[in-house]
Amino acid sequence: MFELTTEEWIAVELSLRISVVATFVALPFGLAVAWLLARKDFWGKALLDGIVHLPLVLPPVVTGYLLLITFGRKGAVGAFLADTFGIVFSFRWTGAALACGVMGFPLMVRAIRLSFEAIDRRLEHAASTLGANPLWVFFTVTLPLALPGVIAGMVLCFAKALGEFGATITFVSNIPGETQTLSAAIYTFTQIPGGDAAALRLVVVAIVLALAALIASEWFARRAGLRYHGE
Amino acid sequence: MLSVDIEKRLGSFSVAVKFETTAGATALFGPSGSGKTSIVSMIGGLLKPDRGRIALGDDVLFDSQARINVPAHRRRIGTVFQEGRLFPHMTVAQNLDYGRWMSGVSIDPADREHIIDMLNIGALLKRRPGHLSGGERQRVAFGRALLMKPRLLLLDEPVASLDRARKLEILPYLARLRDEAKVPMIYVSHQAGEIQRLCSQVVRIEDGQVAAIGGLELLDWELHHPADHKQHPIS
Report CB contact under 8 Å: A127, B98.
yes
B145 inside domain? no
Nearest CA in chain A to B128: A230
CA-based nearest residue to B112, from B127, B126, B104, B122: B122
Q: What is the pLDDT averaged over residues A96-104?
A: 95
Q: What is the pLDDT averaged over residues A87-97?
A: 90
What is the three-class DSSP state of B206?
Answer: strand
B191 inside domain? yes
Closest by Cβ to A144, choosing from B77, B89, B128: B89
Nearest 5°: CA angle at A119, between A118 and A122?
135
What confidence score (pLDDT) does residue A5 get?
85
Nearest 5°: CA angle at A155, between A151 and A159?
175
Closest by Cβ to B89, choosing from A126, A131, A228: A228
Q: How confident is the model at residue A229 (pLDDT cuts 50, 70, 90)?
A: low
Which residues, in sequence order, are CB contacts of A185 under 8 Å at separation 6+?
A7, A8, A11, A176, A202
Q: How confident is the model at residue A228 (pLDDT cuts 50, 70, 90)?
A: low
B94 inside domain? no
Residues of B in contact with A225 (CB under 8 A): none
What confidence score (pLDDT) does residue A213 get?
85
| Domain count along chain B | 1
Residues of B in contact with A145 (CB under 8 A): 88-89
What confidence score (pLDDT) does residue B228 get?
52
What confidence score (pLDDT) does residue A201 get?
92
B130 inside domain? no
Q: Dmax over Cα atoms in chain A, in whole Å?
A: 69
Q: How confident is the model at residue A84 (pLDDT cuts 50, 70, 90)?
A: confident
The number of residues making up chain A comes to 231
Report CB contact under 8 Å: B87, A141.
yes
Residue A117 has pLDDT above 80, yes or no: yes
User: Can you name the residues that pair with B177 across neighbouring β-strands?
Assistant: none
Q: Which domain holds residue B178?
A: 2-89+151-231
B53 inside domain? yes
CATH label of the domain that carries residue B12: 3.40.50.300
What confidence score (pLDDT) does residue A219 get?
85
Local structure of residue B67 (DSSP, 8 states): T
Count CB pairs under 8 A between chains A and B. Answer: 78
Residue A148 has pLDDT above 70, yes or no: yes
Contact B134, B106 (CB under 8 A): no
Mean pLDDT per 10-residue section of chain B, whose length is 235 residues? 92 92 88 90 94 93 94 93 91 94 87 88 92 90 91 90 80 83 88 87 91 84 64 45
User: Can you name the residues that pair with B6 across neighbouring β-strands?
Assistant: B17, B52
Which residues, in sequence order, are CB contacts of A225 under 8 Å at separation 6+?
A148
Query: For an interface test with A, which of B79, B98, B138, B140 has the most A Cβ atoms less than 10 Å from its Cβ?
Result: B98
Nearest CA in chain B to A134: B73
Query: For an interface test with B, which of A122, A123, A128, A130 has the most B Cβ atoms less than 10 Å from its Cβ?
Result: A130
- pTM of this structure: 0.85
Residue A137 has pLDDT above 70, yes or no: yes
Closest by Cβ to B88, choosing from A129, A130, A228: A228
B112 inside domain? no
Domains of chain A: 6-229 (1.10.3720.10)
Mean pLDDT of chain A: 90
Which is it for strands B2-10 and B201-206: parallel, antiparallel or unpaired? unpaired
Amino acid letter, residue A19: S
What confidence score (pLDDT) does residue A143 get?
94
What confidence score (pLDDT) does residue B119 get?
86
CA-based nearest residue to B2, from B151, B188, B195, B103: B151
Q: What is the pLDDT averaged over residues A150-156?
A: 91
What confidence score (pLDDT) does residue B197 get?
85
Contact B84, B155 (CB under 8 A): no
What confidence score (pLDDT) does residue B56 get?
92
In Å, how far is A122's CA from the nearest CA of chain B? 7
Say if residue B63 is exposed, middle or buried (CB neighbours under 10 Å; 0-12, 13-18, 19+): middle
Residues of A in contact with B73 (CB under 8 A): 128-134, 137
Q: Which long-range contacts (CB under 8 A, 24 or more apart) does B34-38 make?
A: B34/B205, B34/B206, B34/B207, B34/B208, B35/B205, B35/B207, B35/B208, B36/B156, B36/B188, B36/B190, B36/B205, B37/B156, B37/B157, B37/B188, B38/B8, B38/B10, B38/B208
What confidence score (pLDDT) does residue A230 get?
45
User: Can you name the residues that pair with B17 across neighbouring β-strands?
Assistant: B6
Report CB contact under 8 Å: A129, B89.
no
Which chain B residues have any C-beta within 8 angstroms of a chain A C-beta? 44-46, 71-79, 81, 83, 85, 87-89, 98-99, 102-105, 128, 130-131, 144-145, 148
For A182-212, how does the pLDDT look when each residue is reduced to its tens digit (9 = 90+)? 999 999 999 999 889 999 999 999 999 888 8
Please count the CA atoms within 13 angstroms of the CA of B54 that sit on its side-chain side. 27
What confidence score (pLDDT) does residue A1 get?
52
Report CB contact under 8 Å: B81, A126.
yes
B120 inside domain? no
SS3 track for A13-71:
HHHHHHHHHHHHHHHHHHHHHHHHHHHCCCCCHHHHHHHHHHHHHCCHHHHHHHHHHHH
Percent of chain A with pLDDT over 70: 97
In Å, how far is B228's CA from the nearest CA of chain A? 31
Report CB contact under 8 Å: A228, B71.
no
B116 inside domain? no
